[in-house]
Amino acid sequence: MREEHDVPLRDLTTMRVGGPAARLVTVRTTDELVDAVREVDDAGEPLLVLAGGSNLVVTDDGFPGTAVRIATSGIAVEARDARSVTVRVAAGEVWDDVVARAVLEGWAGVEALSGIPGRTGATPIQNVGAYGQEVSQTITEVRTWDREEQAMRTFPGADCRFTYRHSRFKGTDRYVVLDVRFRFELADLSRPIAYAALAGGLGVDLGSTVPLSEAREAVLRQRRQRGMVLDPDDHDTWSCGSFFTNPILARGEFEALAERVARRLGVERPSPPRFEEPDGRVKTSAAWLIDRAGFTKGFGLPAPAALSTKHTLAITNRGAARAADILALARQIRDGVQDAFGIRLVNEPVLIGHRL
């Protein structure tokens, strides 16, 4: 366990903003993680748990308590049969390394989640997903430290309350994820391709399967085109990825949106994207709404915070942005979409020390 003081949190996040943590403790084993969290809680200090920092926007004032940085490691095969393999992954494992290992080993089910930054422990919290896959499809168990009960608590996948970009672990600081257990299909081919742009890039029809390595490379190409693969030399990747989640609306709300789009844009047939949800609601595209509200790629340049030049969903640090700059742009976009279309976008990153 390593302890440091007044460490700038901007250096530990992909958005690269944020003031110093009063104390930073880096833990490399599960026991160290539990001990560090218990110590902070017993002392009554504020606690910030972070790993890859890919979903955090920390205030410029920094964090007045202890930040516990998870650097635990371990990918262990626990069971295998003719069709599947069960694998337990430590919270601190780099997520894309896990995906790369899965592809190499013939573990199907997360190949479409290639290139997503961050650590494995964060994936169940917001039910990480992309290109038609979500981690909830392969997670069978999440082991946590329950800060209220001061005990380890394990949740079967069915009890994690997974929904779109959400779980029982999001919006609460009660649980610290220690490790995640996955069940992967043993296969040389991917799960059916469920995303049109990905299918197009592969030159196959929706629902087709391709070799796992081809699916991974195609996903990485798609993400690079959108500035969604971390690159220290590319400011379009100095972000938290998608800053807003896609709105999920009741059918009546979606019809009202379509009518408002038609009036504003002057089109005969309303055209906001619609994706049917299993519960009867309709999901639409935050990126589409942002663009049609007048916030196009690169909006804000040459300011220190601007939309990515590759993707309207990514708010980016152009090199010298502060957290205040990021939040000011996020508010402008959120309020502009609400004024234009009556839809209030919800931020995906966790905001530390401030609110949108």
Give the pLDDT confidence score for residue 267 in this predicted structure. Answer: 74
Choosing from 119, 242, 292, 308, which is the catalytic residue? Answer: 242
Task: Say what the pLDDT of residue 41 is.
Answer: 97
Pairing of strands 20-27, 305-307: unpaired
Per cent of the chain over pLDDT 70 is: 99
Ranges of beta strands (E only) in 187-325 are: 248-249, 275-276, 282-283, 305-307, 315-317
Amino acid letter, 311 = H
Is 134 considered catalytic here?
no
Tell which wins on pLDDT, 268 or 276.
Answer: 276
Burial of 104 (0-12, 13-18, 19+ CB in 10 A): exposed
Q: What is the pLDDT of residue 118?
A: 94
Residue 158 neighbours by CB under 8 Å, 6+ apart: none
- Per-residue pLDDT of 176-217, as tens digits, reads 999 999 999 999 999 999 988 899 999 999 999 999 999 999
What's the pLDDT at 1? 86
The predicted pLDDT at position 266 comes to 80
Give the pLDDT score at 270: 63
Q: 24 in helix, strand or coil? A: strand
* CB contact at 8 A, 334 and 344: yes
Q: Tell me the domains of the chain and their CATH numbers.
A: 2-70 (3.30.43.10), 75-225 (3.30.465.10), 235-246+285-352 (3.90.78.10)
Residue-wise pLDDT for 118-166, tens only, equals 999 999 999 999 999 999 999 999 999 999 999 999 999 999 999 999 9
User: Does 242 participate in catalysis according to the annotation?
Assistant: yes
Over residues 225-242, mean pLDDT: 94
CA 219 vs CA 171, 193, 214, 225: distances in Å:
29, 11, 9, 10
Going edge to edge, which strands form the sheet with 282-283?
A: 248-249, 282-283, 275-276
CA 317 – CA 320 distance, rounded (Å) = 7
| CA-based nearest residue to 94, from 74, 114, 72, 120 | 120
Instruction: Respond yes or no: is residue 348 known to be catalytic.
Output: yes
The answer to whether the beta carbons of residues 315 and 330 sit under 8 Å apart is yes
C-alpha to C-alpha distance for 236 and 231, rounded to whole angstroms: 8
The two structure tokens encoding residue 106: 């013939």
Which tokens in the block code for residue 201? 């890039």
* Residue that the structure tokens 């946590």 belong to: 144
Q: Give me the mean pLDDT over the 70-89 stretch.
A: 98
Catalytic residue among 69, 119, 143, 165: 165
Instruction: Please give the full DSSP string across 120-171, using - where no structure is assigned.
Output: GGGTTTTT-EETTEEGGGTEEEEEEEETTTTEEEEEEGGGS--BTTB-TTTT
Indicate if the pLDDT at residue 101 is higher than 80: yes
Residue whose tokens read 């969604």: 228
Q: What crossing angle do the helices spanning 212-225 and 95-105 adopt, rounded to 10°? A: 150
Contact at 8 Å (CB) between 272 and 288? yes
Q: What is the mean pLDDT of the chain?
A: 96
Amino acid, res. 297: K
